[in-house]
Amino acid sequence: MAYLSRPHGSTHQTPRQRFEADTEPLRRIDPTALREVFLWEEQRVVDKTGCFSLHGNRYEVDAALSGHRVLLRYDPYDLSQIQVWHEGKRFPDAAPLQLRRTHHHAVPAPAQPPSSDGMNFLTLARKHHEAEKQRRLGQTSYARLVGHKDGEPSR
């Protein structure tokens, strides 16, 4: 928070003062509209069977687009959803027929989900702690605590 209270060398105002002095209201952008701005685009010609290939994957589109050049818009991190545009009109999204790649080769692979064995650091640490405690204390014997000998009460 120190940054917000220290005056800037050029404006001689703190960022907070500068922000509060601005009379223009903040504009909120719809997340869906924002996502649309960052979609990648490529063109393909739809073959006579209503299919096209994109980055090793095969997709099917509306048969009316056969033989036409279409504009494809997609998120490079998710090649399972491809928008199809022709002459400025949006058609139904392409249906994946053969999805070999889930992301564009130019972007890093999405993070792998954690292993499904259910183990994590805290679980392993807890198990190690319990094993170490058991080793240090040894087996607790109720019979030794209350003076029993061979399972019989002492008299």
What is the secondary structure of 66-80 as a DSSP string? TT-EEEEEEETTEEE
Same-domain status, 10 and 81: yes
Q: What is the mean pLDDT of residues 131-148?
A: 68
Of residues 120 and 24, which shows the higher confidence score? 24
Same-domain status, 54 and 92: yes
Residue 115, amino acid: S
Q: Are strands 69-75 and 89-98 parallel, antiparallel or unpaired?
A: unpaired
Q: 24 CB contacts (<8 Å, ≥6 apart)?
A: none
Q: What is the mean pLDDT of residues 7-14?
A: 84
Same-domain status, 137 and 91: no
What's the confidence (pLDDT) of residue 122?
A: 74
Same-domain status, 84 and 129: no
CB atoms within 10 A of CB 74: 21
pTM of the predicted structure, to 2 decimals: 0.58
Does a structural domain hold residue 64? Answer: yes
Distance of CA 33 to CAs 29, 37, 38, 112, Å? Answer: 7, 7, 9, 28
Count of structural domains, the chain: 2
Q: What is the mean pLDDT of residues 33-40?
A: 92
Does a structural domain hold residue 38? Answer: yes
Burial 106-125 (b: 16+ CB within 10 A, else e): eeeeeeeeeeeeeeeeeeee
Residue numbers of the domain that contains 44? 2-98
What's the confidence (pLDDT) of residue 141?
A: 60
Does a structural domain hold residue 111? Answer: no
Of the residues 70, 98, 126, the one at which a domain ends: 98
- Per residue in 69-128, pLDDT (tens digit) is 999 999 999 999 999 999 999 999 999 999 999 999 888 877 766 555 666 677 777 888
Same-domain status, 124 and 77: no
Same-domain status, 8 and 46: yes
* Element at 107 (helix H, strand E): none
Token match 């979609």: residue? 39
Same-domain status, 12 and 71: yes
Same-domain status, 6 and 82: yes
Same-domain status, 94 and 125: no
